[in-house]
Structure 1
Amino acid sequence: MASGVVEQQHTRDLSGTSDSAPPDLLYLLGNTLILHQTTPYLPISALLNLAATSRSFRDLLQRTPGVFRHLDLTRVKTAQFDVGAIDHGGEVWRNVQLDENITEDDFYSGPLRAIFHSIRRRNILQDVHTLILDGLSVTAELCNDILVDPSFRVRILSIREVKNLNEPKLMQSLRFACRRTRPDHMPRLKGLYVFGKKDAPLLPPSAPAAPARQAKTARGAAISSGWNHKSQHALKVSIEREGDDWYHCKGRMVSKSITEGWAETLHACHGVIQFDSVLCTGPCHRDSSAFGTAPLSPTRAADKGCRAVAQFALGGCASCGSAPEGFTVYGETPSADLPLLAPVPLHSSTVKSAARPAPDADGSNGNGGKPKFVPRCLECVRERYCFSCHQWWCELCYQVPGHEDAVAAQLVHVVDETNGLVDHEIAAFEPQKIKTRKITRSCWECESNCFDCIANTQKICIACGGGYCIIHFDGSTLTLCDWCSASRGRRVRELY
């Protein structure tokens, strides 16, 4: 019916009877290209309200494939969960008296299950291929239903920074879904965002001007709010210009602590489900192509060969420009070894589009035509990475001072391992003479930095002679510490 209305409108436009009248909304949305490019930006409530306006809009939205393909519930008020503990002595939630019969999953996943039940009755749930639940109350049982329930056909799921998630249970569900004896074409889920940060919300519009009678009292607040808004906008633009994470933005990509078991889960799901992180490729891991070609640090000597989730995206070594295991290169590395990139794609529900980095303005991708990075875990960059300038030194170019004894102990029994090393390979990574330490930590709040960055941030006060950090000592200047700057040049510290 919607197509008939569109054809009649198109006929009237061609006949010239309504040349002066602008095309209506139904005529514009009747174009499939415009409809598919518009609907991902609208919340589901707006689409349902539009479908309720007339029969033509309802037929157009419900009968056109792909309208409800992208479902973002982070902006839905009924999906928010602001309730504390379960037992509040009979507190009423959703007009239901809480008692001992309600399960933990029913309580914490209640808002989302109510929404899924509603859209299932409207025959919408089976059309959802991209589901975003960032920051909401999501349980492991709900994720398991999304994996195995036939009514769900989700291909890309985002559960970053969710609440009430039992990660060990989620790992168990993922491993079972990706088992070798799984049914054909299962699981339907192909991409999972779980390690990164949720996408930043859009900046709200600036507040309107205060009334004239409140101008004097609100002038300071308005100025502060305006500058705050401008700085947030400038920061957002600056971040967007840096490019995609992992490939263009170097540094820590995963800030959350990694729960034990995720590395084995990523290995078990390899080739079936992709994540927004990958396994570390450092030479201390047995699955690495460089395993055994570089000495292990003392912290990893006890558990050498174990897997770990990559938390850092690095460039080439500051000395040799490469890495013992090589780079992860988009277009050359197998697609199953590439991380999903944020934000979640709007106009596609495939892992191929979610893992594709955006090209630069000149189409060069910034790294010789192909974007690349080195994925490393925290232990593989410990005392080798500068958290300020993002420089790092690989195991073949730099041996951390004080680790020579541990490396020598590894050379004694490395031939007995099953990694196939021979004598000339062992000699390739014998400890070299260490001249100076490259990474150290000079500030309690700062991470480990190189000496060039330390010289730019750690200063000596010309008044009292004490050392201070210009980043974490609020009120300090390039020449005076925070105490001397606040006391306007007092040169003697009072202990009491």
Structure 2
Amino acid sequence: MSTCQDVEEHSGGNSWRAARMDENLTEDEFYAGPLRGVLGKLARIKVLQNIQTLVLDELASVTHDLISDIVLGPEYNVRILSVRRCLNLNHSKLQQLLRHICRPSRPEGTPRLQGIYVFTQPAPINQQTSDSSFLASGVTGSQGVQLGAAAVPHGEPGVSGIDPWYAPSGQVITLGHAQRSSWEETLMACKGIISFDAVLCTHMHADMAPVLHVASRDYLTENKAGIPPLATIALGPSGCAGCGRPPAGAPVWGESDPSEFPLLWPPPSSGRVVDAVRPPLRLGENGEALPQRLIVSCTWCLTNRHCESCHRWWCADCYNPTVSKKLSDLERLSRAGLSYLPSREELDNGATSGERGDHIKVFNRLCVQYCLVDEWMVGAGGGGMWG
């Protein structure tokens, strides 16, 4: 069974290089040559125009010039494209290309491309489906042929049972997590035209704007003010740990526009974006279907209000890290060799001593009530740390 890379070498890669090495090649032409050889053979046997889903993850032959051919060339009909972790792909040029094909003055009926995977990480090869449709050799002569697309029904549970975007997974993508990303303007320009395997932090951003941490507010003001960051953290469907409320306007499947949702993996065999963004079914305890809501955030919206272990988070109404905190909490949590924490009753119901200020909910990126306490109790050998 051949992988994409094997097919690249045995279906035109080596012969292309042998024929062209004596010519003056650009860097993009050199790298893209082997894959162009494969695609050229598919064109000659009348297969290429039937390919609607093209998966090119981690291939060294993927360059900006090749993507331009796929997106703009009349011989292609690719609707969903995956180019994750392609070493020789220039992301700045790719962003320019995507903004160009989504420009307001674009020709009617364009672009053909409707979805592109760039941000999520490809699974290791031993974790991918063993179905041959994941391989470039899995090309058939039937209508709507897919190159590299998965044949498993979309929305079927993976190893974890729930797609990371719809579980309390924490950080889902790396790009844009620690600093602003150059992709943010591209997602804005392509909104409603091309979908990505990422979304912008719009709903949480609007909800948290009045109570952003000072450092977060300063950073976002100095770096592309007015442009939402990438949402890199998935919080699951449960809402605020205090009141259960989701961010205002957080998209709900079946009620919100499909463009509000990220592409999920694997790409659908249908080649339709609506199937690529369709969330997995969410069931209640009695087996009834529950509304599937997408709650995601950038890292700046959740500063000091999100537990990085259990991924509980608090809305602006339930917790504002910028207001004064109880002096006793600060002293207890900051002191080395802790021997006392607020009781669970205090944390649940508020202090009974009349001391002013709110209880601290997050300390050292862990929630005080659950994860921090459990960690310290384990460290104390189960001896107990409650006063």
Normalised by the size of structure 1, how large is the TM-score?
A: 0.56
Instruction: Report the Cα offset of residue 438 of structure 1.
Output: 1.8
The answer on whether the counterparts of 2:176 and 2:229 sit within 8 Å (CA) in structure 1 is: no
Instruction: Report whether the alignment pairs 1:400 with 2:299.
Output: no
Q: Which residue of structure 1 lines up, in the alignment, with residue 294 of structure 2? A: 373
Is residue 450 of structure 1 aligned with residue 379 of structure 2? Answer: no
Q: 1:134 to 1:450 in 2, by over 3 A?
A: same
Deviation at 1:440, TM superposition (A): 2.3
Asked whether the equivalents of residues 439 and 450 of structure 1 are also in contact (C-alpha less than 8 Å), the reply is yes
The answer (yes or no) to whether the contact 2:242–2:318 under 8 Å persists in 1 is yes
Residue 395 of structure 1 and its aligned partner are, at CA, apart by 2.4
Equivalent position of 1:267 in the other structure: 188
Identity between Structure 1 and Structure 2 (%): 36
- The match for 1:175 among 99, 119, 140 is 99
Q: For 1:201-236, what per-residue CA distance to the aligned partner results, in whole angstroms no more than 9, with x for missing partners?
A: 34599xxxxxxxxxxxxxxxxxxxxxxxxxxxxxxx
The aligned residue for residue 200 of structure 2 is 279
- The Cα of 1:435 is off from its aligned counterpart by 2.4
How well do the aligned residues superpose, as a CA RMSD in angstroms?
Answer: 3.4
Letter of the 1:187 partner, please give it: P
Verify the 8 A CA contact 1:280 1:307 in the aligned structure 2: yes
- 3-state SS of 1:381 partner: coil
Q: Corresponding residue for 1:196?
A: 120
Instruction: Give the TM-score normalised by structure 2.
Output: 0.71
Give, in whole Å, the separation in 1 of the partners of 2:216 and 2:164. 27
Does structure 2 conserve the Cα–Cα contact (< 8 Å) formed by 1:359 and 1:365? no
- Alignment size in residue pairs: 311
Over alpha carbons, which structure has the higher Rg?
1
Q: AA paired with 1:356?
A: R
User: Which structure 2 residues correspond to residues 87-126 of structure 1 after superposition, within 5 A?
Assistant: 94-95=17-18, 98=21, 101-126=24-49
Deviation sequence 1:138-168 (CA, Å, 0-9, x none): 2222222211111111000111222122111
Residue 248 of structure 1 deviates from its aligned partner by 3.6
Match of 1:296 in 2: 212
The answer on whether the counterparts of 1:128 and 1:154 sit within 8 Å (CA) in structure 2 is yes
Whether 2:231 is the aligned partner of 1:310: answer yes
1:4-403 correspondence runs (5 A)? 75-79=4-8, 94-95=17-18, 98=21, 101-137=24-60, 138-202=62-126, 240-248=159-167, 250-257=169-176, 260-282=181-203, 284=205, 288=206, 290=207, 294-302=210-218, 303=221, 304-314=225-235, 315-346=238-269, 348-360=270-282, 369-401=290-322
**Following TM superposition, by how much is the alpha carbon of 1:362 offset from its aligned partner in structure 2, in angstroms?**
7.4
Structure 1 residue 283 displacement after superposition? 5.3
Unaligned runs of 5+ in 2: 10-14, 130-155, 326-355, 383-387
Report the Cα distance in structure 2 between the residues aligned to 1:186 and 1:176, rounded to whole angstroms: 11
- Displacement after TM superposition at 1:357 (Å): 1.9
CA separation of 1:125/1:204 partners in 2, compared to 1, >3 Å: closer, same or farther? closer
1:437 corresponds to 2:355: no
- Which protein, 1 or 2, shows the higher relative CO under an 8 Å CA cutoff with sep ≥ 6? 2
Aligned-residue offset at 1:365? 8.4
Provide Cα deviations, 1:327-372, integer angstroms capped at 9, x if missing partner: 22111111111111112123x1000111112325779888x62111
Asked if 2 retains the 8 angstrom alpha-carbon contact of 1:341 and 1:355, the reply is: yes
